[in-house]
Amino acid sequence: MPTIGDLTELLEVLAPTRLAADWDNVGLLVGDPSWPADRVMTCLTITPRTVREALEKNVDLIVTHHPLPFRPLQSLTTATTPGRLLLHLITGRIGIYSAHTAFDSAPAGINQHLAIGLGLQQIEPLVPAGQGDEADVGSGRKGSLGEEFPLRDMAERVKTFLEVDRLQVVGDDDLSVSRVAIACGSGGSFLAAAVAAQCDCLVTGETNLHTCLEAEAQGLGLILAGHFASEHFAMLSLAEYLSEQVPNMEVWPSQTECDPLRVI
């Protein structure tokens, strides 16, 4: 029978916690490594919706991308949303594991999967963090399309892979794109790295107005797919990976999780 400890070891191999940003909170955040892990659910974020699903389906461990707790808590009560959700999960004896930025930067992490899914070649970290045998470790990704495409076609490729109907774009539709930078989630801080790497376009989830204006000034295309869409796809593939690694364990991506943003 697999345990939470077994899953922790497996996830540590996939996305070593030492790769996480200094400000992050990763690893086993709630639970006892000796607890059984027969039923595991992956999700992007722990919310009232995903907690309700976990309780209803008798989940043993939630593997979430975004940590809970993220920041230190001075108290654990129902007065706050994090406290309330944590109390529900602890009472239900449900563990929480998060790899977050370690999974973003890992050789087989979210940014790598996104780069492959968008058809990039010669993929490398946008901000390398390793050398030698770990040359494929680092934040973001960059790569070549192998030929030039107009920005509008690149945007359509992003929409197709992430299965989204709409996204936001900065730059002329006919802007020529051959080198692409990738930064899942809120990746506007990687704009300077994308420019330095001589990329024509940065694909990310979301950023602020000033970053959009700077991208426009630099002549760099910017494709904003939405924070949720740019990461959620990887929770599905993560569930498949865990299921393959531990065949006698039931694993599924949350069936109720959805993007909180709507377009009206």
Condensed to tens digits (0 to 9), the pLDDT of residues 83-93 reads 999 999 999 99
Distance CA 110, CA 130 (A): 17
**Which DSSP symbol is given to 11?**
H
Q: Given this model, what pLDDT does residue 137 score?
A: 78
Q: What is the pLDDT of residues 206-263, one digit of tens each?
A: 999 999 999 999 999 999 999 999 999 999 999 999 999 998 899 999 999 999 998 8
pLDDT of amino acid 129: 75
Residue 25's alpha-carbon distances to 45, 63, 67, 74, 99, in angstroms, are 14, 13, 6, 16, 8
Average pLDDT over residues 55-61: 98
Identical fold at 4-102 and 107-227?
yes
The set of residues, in sequence order, having a beta carbon less than 8 Å from that of 115 and lying 6+ positions away, is: 123, 141, 142, 143, 180, 182
Q: What is the pLDDT of residue 132?
A: 62
Structure tokens at 33: 């490594």
Per-residue confidence (pLDDT) for residue 192, from 0 to 100: 97
Distances (CA, A) of 237 to 140, 148, 252: 18, 29, 10
For the stretch 125-135, pLDDT in tens is 999 876 666 66
**Residue-level pLDDT at 133:** 62
pLDDT value of position 247: 86
Question: Is CATH 3.40.1390.30 what the domain over 107-227 is classified as, yes or no?
Answer: yes
DSSP string for 64-81? ESS-SS-SPPS--STTSH
Amino acid identity, residue 216?
E
Give percent of the chain above pLDDT 90: 91
- Domain ranges for the chain, please list them: 4-102, 107-227
10-43 pLDDT, tens digit each: 999 999 999 999 999 999 999 999 999 999 999 9
pLDDT tens, residue by residue, 101-143: 999 999 999 999 999 999 999 999 999 876 666 667 789 999 9
Q: How far apart are CA 158 and CA 98, in angstroms?
A: 26
For residue 49, what are its two tokens? 């919706």
**CA–CA gap between residue 63 and residue 26 (Å, rounded):** 11
Tens of pLDDT, residues 159-202: 999 999 999 999 999 999 999 999 999 999 999 999 999 999 99
- Out of 3.40.1390.30, 3.40.50.2000, 3.20.20.70, 3.90.550.10, select the CATH number for domain 4-102: 3.40.1390.30
